[in-house]
Every structure is written in structure tokens, then in C-alpha cells.
Amino acid sequence: MTSEFNDFRACNNEKMLRRIIQALRKRDFEAEYFADAISANDTLLKMIPDNSRVGIGGSVTIRELRVIEQLEKRGNEVTHHWKPEITKETNRAIRQKEGTADFYLTSANAITEQGDIINIDGIGNRVAHMIYGPDNVIIIAGSNKIVPDIEAGIRRSREIAGVINAKRVGVKTPCAETGKCVDCKAPARICRVTTIMQYRPWQTNIKVMLINEILGF
Ligand code: SF4
């Protein structure tokens, strides 16, 4: 929504995101601020050589950036399991291939003000590749992913990201029906693996790009 107050919101969010960037750096992550998705996109396209292979995690943020189309157009080999031609039989192999790419692009369910990166997965490929996958991992997140602490981050991961994703993938869970997480025990529960990256793991190269926009769930 455009309004004459947007600049105030953006300015306040910038200050907040720049604080989180300092917190992430103290946790040994590389971190950078972007005013908008367009400038983040430009940087990504410059950072990733056009002959490198790119794996993409299950991430609405990355799709909203529209970077996949641009990478493919200029010749990067992009592997991701949301392609319509992926079948039940090829799904696991594709997810594994994502983890062998040169670059892995994903988002996070929540990032705390202290620099913790929180995710909840149903399968675990995304968090596995983030922690010990490709040589270069880039986590891209909008201002909506910022939370005060770990408890709020886990709550956000289930009550916002989990609930909306359950609806998106069309599973039979209480949240997909009602829009509310009840920490269910449904056979189709999608919240199965919780990770908290408190510091950059040794032997990894993880960069966090924080964008002053609402992106993903
Ligand atoms: S209701 Fe179940 S599947 Fe839905 S967000 Fe909560 S724990 Fe996850």
C-alpha cells in the first residue's frame, strides 16, 4: 500500500535491520542491508558467476525476488523442486542435487534481534543444505522475518510460516483448515525439524541479505 507515511516506516525498518546486521556479524555471519528487492537482486546476479550451478530451497521469498528466471535466462543451471515437471519419483533426487550446487539460495523463517537464524522444515533438506551444503549459502530475508528472541522465532515459524505454507501446499492439517497453529499431531504435520543457527557453523560460507521489504511468509 502506498501512503505518505511509507518513508517513516522504511526509515525505522532500516535502522532496525542495520542493528540486526551488526548482531549477525557478531555471530560470524556475513550480513548486508538492501533497501529493496531490486538492489538485492542486482547484487545476487553480480555475486553468482553465470557458469555456476544454483540450488534453491523451498522459499517464497526467493520466488518473489524473481531471481530464478533471471539466473536461468543468462545460463545458470538452477535446480529446484518447485518445477512443475518434478514427479514424486524424482523429488528426493532433485532436493539432493540442490545441495550439491555451487550456490544455495534460501530464506529463513525468523531471525532474532540477537542474530539467531530459525527455521522449521517438513523434510529437512532446506536446513541441511543451509548448515552443511553448498560452498556458498545465501539467506535472503525481508523485514517481516525479524523477531525479538528465539521463542518468538519458533512461534513465528509455526504460527505464520507454517500455517500459510500448510495452506499453500494443501495438506490436511488443522492449521490449513482454521488458519491457526495448534502444535498438531496430524499425520500430515509439516513442522518436523527445527533448527537454530546461533553462530555461523565452522567450514561454511553463509551470507545474510536483509531487505527492507515484506517478502515471503
Ligand atoms: S498446526 Fe501442525 S502443521 Fe500447522 S503450523 Fe501448527 S504444527 Fe505445523
For residue 7, the model assigns a pLDDT of 81
Q: Where are the domains of the chain?
A: 6-211
Topology of the domain comprising 6-211 = Rossmann fold (3.40.50)
With contact defined as beta carbons under 8 Å apart, do 132 and 97 qualify?
no
- Concatenated DSSP letters for 47-70? HS-TTSEEEE-S-HHHHHHTHHHH
Give me the amino acid identity at 145: K
* Predicted model pTM: 0.95
Mutational test site, ligand 1, from 167, 173, 194, max ligand atoms within 8 Å of CB = 173
pLDDT tens for the chain, 217 residues: list them: 677 778 878 888 999 999 999 999 999 999 999 999 999 999 999 999 999 999 998 899 999 999 999 999 999 999 999 888 889 899 999 999 999 999 999 999 999 999 999 999 999 999 999 999 999 999 999 999 999 999 999 999 999 999 999 999 999 999 999 999 999 999 999 999 999 999 999 999 999 999 999 999 9
Compute how many other C-beta atoms are within 10 angstroms of the C-beta atom of residue 150: 15
For residue 1, the model assigns a pLDDT of 67
Pocket of ligand 1 (CB under 6 A): 158, 162-163, 166, 173-175, 181-184, 186, 189-191
Mutational test site, ligand 1, from 181, 185, 192, max ligand atoms within 8 Å of CB = 181
Residues of 10-37 as b/e, b for ≥16 C-beta within 10 angstroms? eeebeeebeebbebbeebebebeebeeb
For residue 4, the model assigns a pLDDT of 79
Distance 183 CA to ligand 1 centre (A): 5
Distance 82 CA to ligand 1 centre (A): 21
- The tens digit of pLDDT for each residue in 1-28 reads 677 778 878 888 999 999 999 999 999 9
For residue 84, the model assigns a pLDDT of 85
